[in-house]
Amino acid sequence: MSTSAAFYFDLASPLAYLAAERILHVFSNAPTPVEWQPVLACELNPSPPIPEPFDLIAIERAAREQGLQPLKWPSPFPFDSALAMRVATYAKSIGRTVPFAQAAFRQAFAGGRSLEQTDHVLIAAAACEMHPAAVLKGAELRSVAGQLSAATALASKVGVTDVPAVRIGERVFLGEHAVEDAAAHATTVEAR
């Protein structure tokens, strides 16, 4: 019996970007596909501790170790990802979550473009053949905003307190090593 799996991300997170660049490869032979689930990281923990700033140098080093292009930090950073995350939710509804998320992450962290700006979000959408008018309309739908809120609330309920996070069955793995830790766990579960 296969176990369900999900990758939780927010497009404003450089750690989620690094995880997104690894997850398809790491889970390429998984018996169950990993669902990509957009969530608003700022709403995952109802009483979050004071956030620690990102260690930009460590993140840049991790990107180099993964063989990615040098990171270009968007201005502003961190940026408000609300629009981009509504578009990611819309993309999920039309079966384009993964290509949109990858394009948007790359716009933000390989291209150095803030996803607060509508044009940068639309460029990412165009890269995966999403029409700009449909994207803008979809991002403004109350149903899309409701789906994003519901997904975020459900993620919080199952134990996701930050991104990146990977859920295998009922177990949640958080942080920089979430992808590899979840893959190791999935291998163990499948071996049983």
Cα distance between residue 28 and residue 21, in whole Å: 12
* Average of per-residue pLDDT across 152-169: 95
Q: What is the CATH number of the domain that holds 62?
A: 3.40.30.10
The per-residue pLDDT for range 37-83, each reduced to its tens digit, is 999 999 997 665 555 677 889 999 999 999 999 999 999 999 999 99
Phi, psi of 102 (to 5 degrees): -60, -45
Mean pLDDT of the chain: 91
* Burial class of 150 by CB neighbour count within 10 A (0 to 12, 13 to 18, 19+): exposed
On whether the CB atoms of residues 84 and 115 are closer than 8 A, the answer is: yes
Q: What is the mean pLDDT of residues 119-138?
A: 96
Q: Residue 146's domain spans which residues?
A: 5-191
Say how many domains are in the chain: 1
Helix (H, G, I), strand (E, B) or coil at 172: strand
Lowest mean pLDDT across 28-32, 42-46, 80-84, 149-153: 28-32
- Calculate the CA dihedral of residues 148, 153, 99, 130 and round it to 10 degrees: -10
Contacts of 188 (CB under 8 A, 6+ apart): none
Give CA–CA dist 44/48, Å, rounded: 8
Cis peptide, bond prior to residue 99, ω within 30 of zero: no
Which position has the higher pLDDT, 131 or 185?
131
Task: Enumerate helices (H) and strands (E) in the chain, giving the number of each.
Answer: 8, 4
Q: What is the dihedral of CA 186, 190, 191, 192, to 10 degrees?
A: 110
Q: Whole-angstrom Cα distance, residue 49 to residue 10?
A: 18
Length of the chain in residues, anyone? 192
